[in-house]
Amino acid sequence: AQSVAQPEDQVNVAEGNPLTVKCTYSVSGNPYLFWYVQYPNRGLQFLLKYITGDNLVKGSYGFEAEFNKSQTSFHLKKPSALVSDSALYFCAVRDGGDYGQNFVFGPGTRLSVLP
């Protein structure tokens, strides 16, 4: 069975500093990996995905993620954090099934960017 771990419940970073939100996964076969962001009282918003190809994936709002197969990790990064990036971040994995019925979400990491 596939699973996702986000080892940090909370990440605090100063505005302008680089940020990293960690994610590790376990899946049989090739993983499809996703990052979502959730602002208060809103749905989950898709940021980026890794399917195949380059290990560095670029997404929305200046976010990027680095896929590392040997470490089974897919960490979310941004070179310079903004206060408006403060939100709840979810990593997700699905196996190579026909569609998204096998999405598994991590527990979430709350990012606080301090002015």
Partner 1 sequence: DAMVIQNPRYQVTQFGKPVTLSCSQTLNHNVMYWYQQKSSQAPKLLFHYYDKDFNNEADTPDNFQSRRPNTSFCFLDIRSPGLGDAAMYLCATSGTGTGVSPLHFGNGTRLTVT
CA separation for the pair 10, 88 (Å, rounded): 9
Quick check: 10 binds partner 1 (CB under 8 A)? no
State the nearest-atom distance from the C-beta of 22 to partner 1, in Å: 16
Lookup: tokens for 92: 């997700």
Residue 16 vs 23, nearer CB to partner 1: 23
Residue 75 vs 79, nearer CB to partner 1: 75
State the nearest-atom distance from the C-beta of 19 to partner 1, in Å: 19
The string of DSSP letters for 11-48 reads EEEETTS-EEE--EEE-SSS-EEEEEEE-TTS-EEEEE
Helix, strand, or coil here: 92?
Answer: strand
Binding site for partner 1 (CB under 8 A): 32, 34, 36, 38, 41-46, 49, 51, 88, 90, 92, 94, 98-101, 103, 105-108, 110
